[in-house]
């Protein structure tokens, strides 16, 4: 409910589902403004691993810092012994993002660890403030607490940094290249080639001009197999014009001797904004 101690939140009334007899369950659920929340330490939905034997996985290719945040769950809590490749900006931004996340949670430890509500016969009857039943991977019994600082450092030490368009030899059987995706700093798409086939993995990408490094799309052509991470419609409002207006207003405020406060994460997109605001 809250990651900071609050007398108001700690005195909220308990909530118990009707027709469910779990005496200890009422200590896990709190009601606030007609909505039900879990009174427990934060937990995270980890990548799906039940259908993959990770000890047989040889290589993991990271496309951007957002797809790297769960890496310690794989490298430190499974039998994975392979190699992880990522660009240097992706590694550095992900490292800062994960360190901040771990410190944020560890600085205010929560003694309570709720688990009874995770039963399928229980959580389906709880009017939670979030949807936990969108797909199999989001089932609460798969969620885990945040990894430790030691696990984080061990995981990041296993990442091998590569450059854009650098040829990576994978056990003499395949060649892999990271190509700029234009999505965020360090983001990339992957081209994997053998002697006879060309596979393109298209991750989060953008052709907009507001990104520091444009999308490198020419090497993606003539693929035998194209694997799409996701698709989205063209935005109704052009981010290029929005960012242009954003920069103009910041410039005006600074010229008048004012200050500018930008509410955003302290990692990630802020570095893209630095590139656009450098002239101001």
Residue 226 reports pLDDT greater than 50: yes
Cα–Cα dist 205/256, whole Å: 37
Percent of the chain with pLDDT over 90: 44
Cα–Cα dist 118/143, whole Å: 9
- Of residues 128 and 179, more confidence is placed in 179
Of 42-46, 73-77, 136-140, 142-146, the range with the highest mean pLDDT is 73-77
Percent of the chain with pLDDT over 70: 86
Q: Tell me what pLDDT residue 168 has.
A: 95
Those residues with Cβ within 8 angstroms of residue 220's Cβ, 6 or more apart along the chain or in another chain: 179, 189, 191, 200, 202
How confident is the model over 118-127, as a mean pLDDT?
72
How confident is the model over 204-223, as a mean pLDDT?
85
Q: How confident is the model at residue 1 (pLDDT cuts 50, 70, 90)?
A: very low
**Closest alpha carbon to 40 in 144, 121, 126:** 144
Residue 5 reports pLDDT greater than 80: no
Q: Supply the mean pLDDT for the chain.
A: 84
Q: What is the pTM of this model?
A: 0.80
Token pair of 273 as six digits: 């904004």
Q: Tell me what pLDDT residue 207 has.
A: 82
Of 68-82, 99-113, 224-238, the range with the highest mean pLDDT is 68-82
Q: Tell me what pLDDT residue 141 has.
A: 80
Q: How confident is the model at residue 135 (pLDDT cuts 50, 70, 90)?
A: low
DSSP per residue, the chain: --SS--HHHHTSPB---TT---GGGGGTEEEETTEEEE-S---B-PPP-TT--GGG--EEE--SGGGGTTHHHHHTTS---SEEEEEHHHHHHHHHHHHHHHHHHHTS-------GGGSHHHHTTS-BSS---SSGGG-GGG-BPPPPHHHHHHHHTTEEEE-TT--EEETTTEEEEEEE-SSSTT-EEEEEE-SS-EEEEE-S----TTSSS----GGGSS-SEEEES---PPPSS-HHHHHHHHHHHHHHHHHTT------S-SSSHHHHHHHHHTT-
Cα–Cα dist 115/121, whole Å: 13
Q: pLDDT tens digits, residue range 148-200?
A: 999 999 999 999 999 999 999 999 999 999 999 988 889 999 999 999 999 99
- Of residues 47 and 280, more confidence is placed in 47
CB atoms within 10 A of CB 59: 15
Q: Tell me what pLDDT residue 265 has.
A: 78
Q: How confident is the model at residue 31 (pLDDT cuts 50, 70, 90)?
A: confident
Q: Tell me what pLDDT residue 234 has.
A: 66
């Amino acid at each position: 409910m809250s990651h900071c101690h609050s007398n108001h939140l700690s005195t909220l009334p308990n909530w118990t589902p009707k027709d469910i007899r779990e005496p200890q369950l009422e200590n896990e659920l709190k009601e606030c403004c007609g909505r039900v929340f879990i009174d427990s330490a934060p937990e995270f939905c980890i990548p799906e691993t039940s259908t993959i034997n990770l000890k047989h996985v040889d290589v993991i290719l990271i496309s951007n810092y957002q797809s790297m945040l769960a890496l310690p769950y794989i490298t430190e809590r499974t039998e994975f012994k392979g190699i992880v490749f990522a660009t240097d900006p992706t590694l550095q931004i992900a490292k800062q993002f994960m360190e901040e996340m771990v410190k944020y949670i560890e600085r205010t430890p929560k003694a309570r660890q709720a688990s009874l509500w995770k039963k399928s016969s229980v959580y389906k009857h709880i009017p939670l403030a979030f949807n936990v039943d969108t797909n199999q991977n989001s089932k609460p019994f798969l969620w885990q607490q945040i990894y430790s600082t030691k696990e984080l450092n061990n995981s990041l030490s296993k990442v091998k940094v590569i450059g854009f368009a650098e040829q990576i030899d994978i056990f003499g059987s395949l060649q892999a290249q990271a190509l700029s995706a234009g999505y965020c700093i360090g983001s990339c798409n992957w081209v994997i080639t053998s002697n006879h086939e060309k596979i393109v993995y298209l991750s989060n990408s953008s052709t907009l001009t507001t990104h520091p490094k444009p999308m490198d799309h020419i090497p993606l052509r003539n693929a035998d197999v194209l694997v799409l991470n996701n698709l989205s419609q063209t935005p109704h409002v052009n981010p290029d014009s929005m960012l242009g207006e954003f920069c103009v207003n910041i410039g005006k405020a600074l010229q008048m001797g004012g200050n500018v406060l930008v509410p955003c994460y302290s990692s990630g997109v802020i570095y893209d904004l630095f590139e656009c605001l450098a002239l101001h």
